[in-house]
Structure 1
Amino acid sequence: MVLTAERSAPRHARHWVMRAVAGAGVGGASNQVIELLAGELVSNAVIHGPADEPVRVAVRVDGGVVRVAVTDRGGGVPRVRHPEPTEPNGRGMALVDALSTAWGSARLADGGTTVWFEVDTDD
């Protein structure tokens, strides 16, 4: 899926990812976690990447493992933050770190970044 880096992108991505994994037979809590984490990655791409640029979302289901990758043209590197309880944001990558089986990022030759996570749905 290709979206424009704008405010509505995370919602569209969450719904698309949810339908994609449900279509592959993934349901229940795993589907909800995958939907949440996909929304967090797309939100980060919208907030930290270039405005109005493409954001690509890819989903792969391989047996009991779901992998979601989000690519934008920004050059940032994600990091897990632990903000104070009163801070209004900054928890997205902490959620990804806590709820995914694995995650990572890669800088692309064109200067963009791909951030991905995996969820093992066999747990």
Structure 2
Amino acid sequence: MNVREIRAHLRRELAGTGVDPADADLMAAEIATNAILHTASGRPGGRVWLTVIVSPERARIEITDQGGTPKEPQIPHSASLNGRGLLIVQELADRWGWTRDASGRTTVWFELPRTGETPP
């Protein structure tokens, strides 16, 4: 998936769930863009995967890259002029984090609360 496809799919998955789609869209776009810029996901034939899990209390959005970088996701210094995507995620998400599997693929995830009386 590319960033545009991730955003469109995420909006469809979150429709009617009571999760703020604007915040989710922004954070997913930042993470997917990082994956494309800094990992094998941005090379020809590269891929990015999106997982959306909605529970009665919250939604968890996971974006997985194709690996290929030894660098760990990190939040830049507040004075940095670029690379602020994870800083946005840190500020908007209830919780967030990342994992790396044995093949080197990194998954960055975040959680947002559900509001209202909408069913999962």
What is the aligned partner in structure 1 of residue 76 from structure 2?
81
Deviation at 1:111, TM superposition (A): 1.4
What is the aligned partner in structure 2 of residue 39 from structure 1?
29
CA shift in 2, pair 1:11/1:83, >3 Å:
farther
What is the aligned partner in structure 2 of residue 11 from structure 1?
4
1:26 paired with 2:15, answer no
Normalization by structure 2: what TM-score? 0.83
Task: For 1:104 and 1:62, locate their aligned partners in 2 and report how far apart those are by CA, in whole Å.
Answer: 18
Counterpart residue identity of residue 44, structure 1: N
Specify which structure has the higher proportion of strand.
1
Normalization by structure 1: what TM-score? 0.81
The one-character-per-residue Cα deviations of 1:25-71 (angstroms, maximum 9, x if unpaired) are 235xx111011111111111101111131111111111131111011
User: How many equivalent pairs are there?
Assistant: 111
Structure 2 segments unaligned to the other structure (5+ residues):
none
SS in 2 for 1:54: coil
Residue from 94, 107, 110 that aligns with 2:103: 110
Task: For 2:73 and 2:112, locate their aligned partners in 1 and report how far apart those are by CA, in whole Å.
Answer: 18
Q: Which has the higher contact order (CA 8 A, sep 6+)?
A: 2
Percent identical pairs in the alignment equals 32
The runs of at least 4 aligned residues of structure 1 exceeding 6 Å deviation read: none
CA shift in 2, pair 1:121/1:25, >3 Å:
closer
